[in-house]
């Protein structure tokens, strides 16, 4: 597995998203997925304190066990767990890090990420306490998620000579390209690592959704109201073109989704969840396809213009 950098950290080009742990996957299921990831050379595990009602961190920590020292663990704080546990206020951050360390069964978090902006707290205050955590050795690097380019600029200006965000984790895929308009250029200016989540567009790029066919039942796109608008004929028509492009080159559209992201500047690791070991293996294998510049040009011609 190819390695790339996030600040001082070296991570596998494909990471394992742990949002299913404790929610759709029980502890034995988590164990099998984590073991498959390790077998495939995946050493970057991305979770959050809210995932699985806080069980994701617990299950991940137990699954890693003595192998914790061999991997890079990223987690997040700031999304609401309950009324008392949310946001980016310094006093809460101090509590959140201790809770995550206990749940993960570790004494250091490699990449600690603010899960979403908190407009009620000056970013300088949050960065101040995060800098303290780095100084104390509880955190190695800090990052953010769901930030706009404007918010990335503000964070950089507020950091001064303290610890700075080294990464931003936002949604990005062949079908969701909003990051291209401002966030990715800002990553280039600041030399920030970009960590795309939902690389398979919530399932649209798995090959299971086809134009003119009934969608598979029980999927995120068919069960979540917030996702249903993404499943439309326009998107499926683009998917058909991508399926044909990949098939003509001996690959699947899933492999294309990963390869296209890994061909982008500043993308350090593609974070994808998995429910089964075979899905982990598919994701890891996809990283071996290197697209040429001609390939990328041909793909761009198949895609809709990115949203502003």
In which band, very low, low, confident or very high, does the pLDDT at 125 lie, cut at 50, 70 and 90?
Answer: very high
In which band, very low, low, confident or very high, does the pLDDT at 308 lie, cut at 50, 70 and 90?
Answer: very low
Sheet holding 14-17, edge to edge: 193-197, 165-171, 139-145, 109-114, 72-77, 44-46, 14-17, 270-273
Mean pLDDT of 78-82: 95
Taking the C-alpha atoms of residue 51 and residue 73, their distance in angstroms, rounded to an integer, is 14
Residues constituting the chain = 308
Q: What percent of the chain has a predicted confidence (pLDDT) above 70?
A: 94
Nearest to 198 by CA among 159, 169, 224, 226: 169
Taking the C-alpha atoms of residue 170 and residue 167, their distance in angstroms, rounded to an integer, is 10
Mean pLDDT of 92-112: 98
Per-residue confidence (pLDDT) for residue 215, from 0 to 100: 73
Per-residue confidence (pLDDT) for residue 233, from 0 to 100: 77
Q: What is the pLDDT of residues 15-65, one digit of tens each?
A: 999 999 999 999 999 999 999 999 999 999 999 999 999 999 999 999 999
CB atoms within 10 A of CB 150: 12
Q: What is the pLDDT of residues 212-255, one digit of tens each?
A: 677 777 666 655 665 667 777 788 889 999 999 999 999 999 99
Taking the C-alpha atoms of residue 47 and residue 51, their distance in angstroms, rounded to an integer, is 7
Of the residues 51, 92, 112, 172, which is catalytic?
51
Reported as half-sphere exposure (CB side, CA atoms, 13 A), residue 105 has a value of 15
Reported as half-sphere exposure (CB side, CA atoms, 13 A), residue 263 has a value of 21
Q: What is the pLDDT of residues 168-200, one digit of tens each?
A: 999 999 999 999 999 999 999 999 999 999 999
Q: Please give the domain boundaries of the chain with CATH numbers for all domains.
A: 3-202+257-289 (3.20.20.100)
In which band, very low, low, confident or very high, does the pLDDT at 99 lie, cut at 50, 70 and 90?
Answer: very high
DSSP H or E run through 195: strand 193-197
Mean pLDDT of 285-294: 94
* Mean pLDDT score across all residues of the chain: 93
Whether the pLDDT of residue 151 is over 90: the answer is: yes
Give the lowest-confidence range in 21-35, 106-120, 229-243, 288-302: 229-243
Catalytic residue check, 92: no
Taking the C-alpha atoms of residue 32 and residue 94, their distance in angstroms, rounded to an integer, is 32
Per-residue confidence (pLDDT) for residue 217, from 0 to 100: 72
């Amino acid at each position: 597995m190819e390695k790339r950098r996030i600040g001082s950290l070296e991570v596998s080009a494909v990471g394992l998203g742990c949002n299913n742990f404790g929610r759709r996957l029980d502890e034995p299921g988590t164990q099998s997925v984590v073991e498959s990831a390790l077998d495939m050379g995946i050493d970057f595990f991305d979770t959050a304190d809210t995932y699985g009602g806080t069980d994701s961190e617990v299950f991940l920590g137990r699954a890693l066990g003595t192998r914790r020292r061999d991997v890079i663990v990223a987690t997040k704080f700031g999304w609401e767990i309950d009324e008392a546990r949310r946001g980016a206020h310094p006093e809460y951050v101090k509590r959140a890090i201790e809770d995550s360390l206990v749940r993960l069964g570790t004494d250091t978090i490699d990449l600690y990420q603010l899960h979403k902006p908190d407009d009620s707290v000056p970013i300088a205050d949050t960065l101040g306490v995060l800098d303290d955590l780095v100084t104390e050795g509880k955190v190695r690097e800090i990052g953010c998620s769901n930030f706009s380019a404007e918010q990335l600029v503000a964070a950089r200006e507020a950091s001064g000579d303290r610890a700075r965000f080294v990464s931003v984790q936002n949604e990005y895929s062949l079908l969701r390209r909003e990051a291209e308009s401002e966030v990715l250029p800002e990553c280039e200016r600041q030399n920030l690592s970009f960590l795309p989540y939902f690389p398979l567009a919530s399932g649209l790029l798995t090959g299971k959704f086809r134009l003119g066919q009934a969608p598979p039942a029980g999927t995120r796109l068919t069960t979540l109201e917030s996702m249903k608008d993404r499943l439309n004929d326009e998107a499926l028509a683009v998917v058909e073109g991508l399926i044909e492009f990949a098939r003509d080159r001996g690959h699947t559209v899933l492999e294309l989704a990963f390869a296209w992201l890994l061909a982008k500047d500043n993308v350090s690791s593609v974070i994808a969840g998995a429910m089964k070991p075979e899905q982990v293996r598919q994701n890891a294998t996809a990283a071996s396809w290197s697209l040429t510049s001609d390939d990328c040009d041909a793909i761009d011609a198949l895609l809709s213009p990115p949203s502003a």
